């Protein structure tokens, strides 16, 4: 009997990835089906459904699911879910597909059929519906009104741009996943299925595991967060996004090298596990913090480290909105339908010269002038501009890896600073 937290949804790991003879038969069938292209985000969502990362989802959402998630954080059957997982198609393609028909889902980047899908529903996603989703999912406390939100969202929010650029019709239905794309090979030893992380946790005798979400290279604050979690849990799962990011973010293979160096030189290795997952960032702040907790439950984690501006972008979200949202979501009483992975909430952390070490707003009584404020955005900006990185911002081994990466860049993206990166936003 496993002592780990059960997968979300009460149905175990719902894995849609086919293997063996069933896979080969479905591939042959897929070759003769109508093909619908999928975006990078949809491709990542497909793979997560394939490997059980999105349990209990087994397909793209119906309109009732979409509406329930947007309005109430609930699927149509009452299961908690924080962000829509949908598939869009052009009007022309959708018109050629009948409800009840099977189609093939094609990745134009990888030039590969990723899945088959039985279409159970088609529903329009016009401008009004897309804006509705964006306001529900992406509009945080950083913008008070919809009018204020839309003045900047379409230009400055990559998650909003992603939704507004979706095609005109959503297709819903169960999927059979045929491939994990490039991830198992490109990120061998890091990319991990939930069943694999759970097996390792069991072998190590871990029961309480905290997950650290990473989309930036690990700086001293990340390291400190992990070490706090190691003190109160059996182990920490450093779980990096290896899907797509926004321009200017540092690619996954570089971030993985940085984590490797940190774990080797600054952690007791038996208390830490590194893994990678195949999603694109949605930059949905508080809602994405909930999504991170939901799928980390499937990976076997009982706690999700939530610091300041988790999964944020610009100044769209309140500094600790990703923590307080956990107090506002529904917790269904029916077995398995509530989110069980709880937040491990940690205040803003930094290096303090007077404290002579890492500290947080809860432990350090000193002023801003005594602190090295740490953020991934600030680090990327300094490195991209060739500026000197202040002492105690990052470990030398990590900065050396990042310095080599930036030296090799031929094109550089301007990094915009914001309140969460500078310390100008009040708690």
Q: Which of 174, 176, 171, 183 is nearest to 28 (CA)?
A: 176
Alpha helices (H) in 102-174, listed in sequence order: 127-138, 146-156, 158-164
As given in the structure block, the two tokens for residue 421 are 């990166």
Contact of 383 with 421, CB cutoff 8 Å:
no
Contacts of 309 by beta carbon, 8 Å cutoff, 6+ apart? 285, 317, 319, 322, 420
Buried b / exposed e along 132-143 (16+ C-beta atoms within 10 A): bbbbbbbbbebb
Candidate list 41, 215, 282, 371, residue with the active-site label: 215
**Is the bond leading into 56 cis (omega within 30 degrees of zero)?**
yes
Answer yes or no: 215 catalytic: yes
Contact of 303 with 343, CB cutoff 8 Å:
yes
Contact of 278 with 40, CB cutoff 8 Å:
no
CB count, 10 Å around CB of 385?
A: 11
Candidate list 170, 216, 244, 298, residue with the active-site label: 216
**Angle at Cα 84 formed by Cα 80 and Cα 87, nearest 5°?**
135
E strand or H helix that includes residue 23: helix 20-30
* Cα 97 from Cα 95, distance rounded (Å): 6
* Cα 79 from Cα 266, distance rounded (Å): 40
Answer yes or no: 303 catalytic: no
Give the chain's largest Cα–Cα span.
Answer: 68
Buried b / exposed e along 173-207 (16+ C-beta atoms within 10 A): bbbbbbbbbebbeebeebbbbbeebbebbeeeebb
* Cα 298 from Cα 121, distance rounded (Å): 27
Among all residues, which ones are annotated catalytic? 215-216
């Amino acid at each position: 009997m496993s002592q780990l937290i059960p997968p979300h949804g009460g149905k175990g790991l719902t894995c849609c990835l086919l293997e063996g003879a069933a896979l080969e038969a479905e591939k042959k069938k897929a070759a003769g089906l109508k093909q619908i292209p999928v975006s990078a985000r949809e491709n990542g969502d497909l793979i997560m459904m394939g490997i059980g990362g999105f349990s209990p989802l087994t397909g793209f959402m119906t309109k009732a699911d979409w509406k329930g998630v947007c309005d109430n954080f609930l699927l149509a059957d009452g299961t908690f879910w924080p962000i829509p997982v949908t598939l869009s198609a052009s009007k022309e393609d959708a018109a050629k597909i009948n409800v009840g028909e099977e189609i093939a889902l094609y990745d134009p980047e990888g030039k590969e059929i990723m899945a088959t899908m039985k279409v159970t529903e088609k529903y329009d996603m016009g401008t009004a519906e897309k804006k509705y989703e964006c306001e529900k999912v992406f509009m945080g406390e950083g913008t008070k009104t919809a009018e204020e939100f839309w003045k900047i969202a379409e230009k400055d929010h990559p998650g909003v741009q992603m939704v507004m650029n979706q095609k005109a019709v959503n297709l819903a239905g169960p999927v059979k996943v045929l491939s994990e794309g490039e991830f198992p090979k490109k990120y061998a030893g890091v990319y991990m299925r939930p069943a694999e992380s759970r097996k390792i946790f069991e072998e190590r005798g871990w029961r309480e595991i905290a997950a650290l979400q990473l989309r930036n290279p690990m700086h001293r604050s990340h390291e400190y967060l992990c070490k706090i979690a190691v003190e109160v849990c059996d182990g920490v799962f450093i779980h990096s996004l290896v899907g797509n990011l926004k321009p200017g973010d540092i690619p996954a293979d570089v971030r993985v090298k940085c984590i490797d160096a940190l774990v080797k030189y600054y952690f007791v290795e038996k208390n830490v596990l590194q893994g990678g997952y195949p999603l694109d960032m949605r930059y949905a702040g508080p809602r994405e913090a909930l999504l991170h907790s939901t799928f980390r439950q499937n990976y076997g984690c009982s706690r999700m480290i939530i610091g300041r501006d988790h999964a944020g972008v610009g100044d769209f979200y309140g500094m600790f909105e990703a923590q307080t949202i956990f107090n506002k979501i529904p917790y269904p009483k029916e077995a398995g339908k509530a989110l069980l992975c709880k937040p491990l909430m940690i205040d803003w952390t930094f290096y303090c010269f007077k404290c002579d070490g890492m500290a947080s707003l809860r432990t350090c009584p000193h002023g801003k002038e005594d602190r090295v404020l740490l953020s991934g955005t600030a680090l990327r900006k300094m490195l991209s501009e060739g500026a000197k990185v202040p002492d105690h911002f990052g470990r030398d081994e990590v900065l050396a890896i990042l310095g080599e990466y930036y030296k090799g860049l031929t094109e550089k993206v301007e990094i915009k600073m914001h309140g969460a990166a500078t310390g100008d936003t009040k708690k």
